[in-house]
């Protein structure tokens, strides 16, 4: 299960994803939100932020592959 804080790889499943990977070298993204945006018609989507950039975008589970799990993103005192 993909969750907030995980690092995922954007797969070349469509032209925009291929463009981001090829021209802008944005292969790896951090998951910042998991939700059901209206344009996905009830399917789960993932709000992603490019690692090393402020660029964000929504992606479906078919568009991404887990690269690095984040077990705990909160500091424990």
- How far from 62 is each of 31, 66, 73, CA to CA, in Å? 14, 11, 24
Q: Which DSSP letter does residue 5 get?
A: T
Return the H-helix or E-strand segment holding 17. Answer: helix 15-22
Q: Cα–Cα distance between 3 and 8 in angstroms, integer?
A: 10
The pair of structure tokens assigned to 45 is 């989507």
Model pTM? 0.84
pLDDT of residue 42: 87
Q: Which DSSP letter does residue 2 get?
A: -
pLDDT band at 19 (very low <50, low <70, confident <90, very high): very high
Contact 45, 37 (CB under 8 A): yes
């Amino acid at each position: 299960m993909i969750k907030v804080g995980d690092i995922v790889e954007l797969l070349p499943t469509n032209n925009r994803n291929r463009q981001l990977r090829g021209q802008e070298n944005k292969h790896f993204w951090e998951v910042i939100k998991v939700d059901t945006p209206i344009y996905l018609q009830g399917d789960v989507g993932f709000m992603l932020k490019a690692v090393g950039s402020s660029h964000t975008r929504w992606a479906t589970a078919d568009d991404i592959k887990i690269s690095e799990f984040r077990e705990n993103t909160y500091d424990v005192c």
